[in-house]
A and B are shown apart, each in its own frame.
Chain A
Amino acid sequence: MQFRESQAIYLQIADYVCEKILLKEWKVEERIPSVRELAVQLEVNPNTVMRTYEFLQQQEIIHNQRGIGYFVSPTALKNAQQYRKNDFVEKDLPQVFRTMYLLGMEPDELKPRFDKFKKQHFA
């Protein structure tokens, strides 16, 4: 049994970018911060951000327009959601399930809480 203490920094940055896109703070077809801008903002090595951007290009979440910069791809929302979902289901959910099992909780109990949470934060 492993705790996912934390992922490699380049993956943490990928999560950060996906979150910006899923929250629509960064919109489809818009330019996103350059490698250097994001490195300065997050206080990380620019090579690490470069690796994140290459990774997100493979996932077809962002794309590069030579000489101009990086843009949010038309398919970004779908792909970012899929990527984060796989990650969540494979890595975070087992932890939640384990805790639920230990505490004798069933999924039905979650439904009203989840609805309330959505109302509070995203309504």
Chain B
Amino acid sequence: MIQIQNLHFGYRKKKIFTGLSLKLEAGHIYGLLGKNGTGKSTLLKNMAGLLFPKEGNVSVLGFNPAKRQPAFLQDIFMVPEEFYLPDVPIEQLVKHTAPFYPKFNDDQFNRFITEFDIPRSNTLQKMSYGQKKKVLISFGLACNTSVLLMDEPTNGLDIMSKSQFRKVIAGCLDENKCIVISTHQVKDLESLIDRVTIIDEGRILFDQTVDDITRKLSFHISFDNDEIKQALFREPSLRGSAVITRNTLGDESKLDLELLYKAIVLNGNAIKSVFNA
């Protein structure tokens, strides 16, 4: 659905991507993780046709995003982290914007904003950042595009809204849809994503399905000094040490995304050797 080959990109003198390749398929929710400034947003913008690669190929739904063809634009939606919404009632926003998206479904939009507790009669200017974001997320989902890109969608959402967000996303994934969520709030999305993609220093550092991760790695608390010493990654916790080891028993433990992320960034080769074997 989305194919990126040998992507090079930079802002003036600052190089962001130096030969990044990635393939994203329909039917999944991808969690895009990486340190600040590693280019998560830049990558999403390259997919959406908002930035153009210096070198390499980006293909989304069979289109070259940079050409910004209408058939492409009506089947992709991006919820950016920073956005501008005009000072109009929600009703007008829908009236003026929805016609660009042939699969827009007004009933769905109503359902989503109701779920988020936003009255449809509201005007956008009087809303907080979080409320505006919820309108944008609801609108993006109701467009029913095949590709949905979201940059830090849970930033600015209160506790109830995060839960509503997960419900809404869980309900809209289908086998023809590809959802990419970039985030730092891993706890918000741990149960939602089924594929983890980590970028660092301009490349893809790690890209595996959650199923494969929990099949091959075990996340648990250990008190066994030998095991702690031999663990692929360890971190002291209140009781014992939180460790990542090879999963040798066959029991699958719950993925600790935060721990995995730290392990990949600090000791990536040890973790990757488990997957390359």
Residues of A that sit less than 8 Å from B by CB: 1-12, 36, 39-48, 51, 91
Contact = CB atoms under 8 A, between A and B. Distances in A.
A45 B194 contact: yes
B252 interface: yes
B163 A47 contact: no
* Contact-size category for B: 20 to 34
Given A2-B222, A5-B253, A6-B253, A43 B167 contact: yes
A87 to B, nearest CB: 10
Interface of B: 27-29, 163, 166-167, 170-171, 173, 191-194, 210-211, 214, 219-224, 240, 251-255
Contacts of A40: 167, 170-171
23 contacts: A1-B224, A2-B220, A2-B224, A3-B221, A3-B240, A4-B253, A5-B254, A7-B252, A8-B214, A8-B252, A8-B255, A10-B252, A11-B252, A12-B254, A42-B170, A42-B191, A44-B166, A44-B192, A45-B170, A45-B173, A47-B173, A47-B194, A48-B194
A98 to B, nearest CB: 11
Given A8-B253, A45-B191, A39 B170 contact: yes
B257 to A, nearest CB: 12
Contacts of B191: 9, 42-45, 48
Name the residue among A3, A41, A43 with the largest chain B CB count within 10 angstroms.
A43
